[in-house]
Amino acid sequence: MSDDMSRPLIRGGGSRHLEASMSEPGTPVIGILGTGDFSRSLAGRLVASGYQVVVGSRTPKRSVALFPEEAEVTSQMEAANQADLVFVAVFPEHHSTLVELKPALAGKTLVDVSNSLQINRDGPSNAEKLSNLFPESYVVKGFNTISAWTLQTGPRDGSRQVFLCSDSHKAKSSVMQLCRRMGFVPVDMGLLSSSLEIENLPLYLFPSWRIPILCTLSLFIFFYLYNFTRDVLQPYITAGQSVFYKMPIETVNVTLPSVALVMLALVYLPGLCAAFLQLWWGTKYSRFPDWLDRWLTRRKQFGLCSFLCAVLHAIYSLSLPMRKSARYKLINVALKQVKEGVEDSWVDEEVWRMELYLSVGIMALGLLSLLAVTSLPSVANTVNWREFTFIQSTLGYCALSMATLHTLLFGWNRAFVPAQYRFHLPPTFMLVLILPLVVLLGRLALFVPCVSRRLRQIRRGWEKSQHVRFTRTDGDCHNGLEDVSNV
């Protein structure tokens, strides 16, 4: 027995952490058609879960060394005859080569794990085609969103959800039981008609991130060109001064906090729009416009993009003293002060401004880090809804306030200095502050007692244009009067 337990499940390269367990009496025999990477990982996970596995291959002798010793590798026909439940792990274009197995697979459950090469919106799905090819079998779509790596390492290192759908409730239930025994969480997606949606899931490339990323890039390009025009191009055109060395570090470092603050304001702006729309309509039962719905569902992505820009800004700021240009400037300033006989260049106002500027910036970055961490599902699942909303809403507005104050301290009194309006363009921080100040003022408006009370009533079901009359029954009526209230 010790010899059996010490043998690795997968010889050669790959994971050695799978441990086999003896098959229980009455456990169904699981067949796998195909010998690719997914098939090998699936066989190892099934063996580790205590199943008897038989693998069907067109070349059994060549494939036997790739699978665990506990799994039997044989011909496709033999595997189809022995198995009670069969995983079809071959490419969909090769499904037609399995037609000769139709008699052996009749009345058995087939699990289609295939994916398409591109998103298919019109149908039919691969699972529906397989069902048409094997009308006497019960086809279940599933395991296509689980990678071979997840199967090898186990559900602890990857997604635990397995989406399943089938027209046969019995077949789907058997696959669900198998999923649970393997350590995964089955998700019932209904009939086989849902298989098209399941097959498209692995093909989407960050669908929720497309708009936030485009917005971030657009803002970065706009503010970078704006800063380049004011800080680099204007001195070159007006005074012939070449400061193009600022482009890689300084210009980027002024652009990143601008994007971070605007993106953070865009996180909380849709919530304000929704609140004011509900106040205007006098009800919470009217559907928001589609653009606002999409915006509300992508606030997490907007916030994480803001956090990324803020972290990059902090790193760029820490690297500023390391530049040769900064050292040359310090030396030149020191030499100039010695030449002019300046003994003390201390300016209290500038010292206080910089101390406050850095302190508030660090606090803003710390709050943003807390928001980013709690947005992770693994962390969000450990707090209740009230704690989550407190962090994401109350602390989120605190982060926005700190970031806005950070920008105000950066600007200080520069908005009133005519020399700052290069090419008649206002300083960058003035443009950046517009949206955050609008959001903060809008938030303050919702704190007005009459406004907050009305919004609270609306969100509890009150409607401006609807009055519901409640009449007590004879048994509940104490004075024969009607009880009338607004809902």
- What's the pLDDT at 371? 96
Q: Can you list the positions of beta strands (E) in 48-107?
A: 52-57, 72-75, 85-88
> How many Å apart are CA 82 and CA 59, to the nearest integer?
18
- What's the pLDDT at 24? 61
Structure tokens at 125: 């799905």
What is the dihedral sign for C-alpha 40, 46, 52, 56?
negative
Residue 459 CB neighbour total at 10 angstroms: 11
Residue from 260, 214, 216, 211 nearest 369 by CA: 260
> How many Å apart are CA 390 and CA 228, to the nearest integer?
39
Half-sphere exposure (CA, 13 Å, Cβ side) for 178? Answer: 31
Intervals of the chain under pLDDT 50: 1-22, 468-487
pTM > 0.75: yes or no: yes
Helix (H) and strand (E) counts in the chain: 21, 10
> How many Å apart are CA 8 and CA 16, to the nearest integer?
6
3-state DSSP call for residue 139? strand
- What's the pLDDT at 218? 98
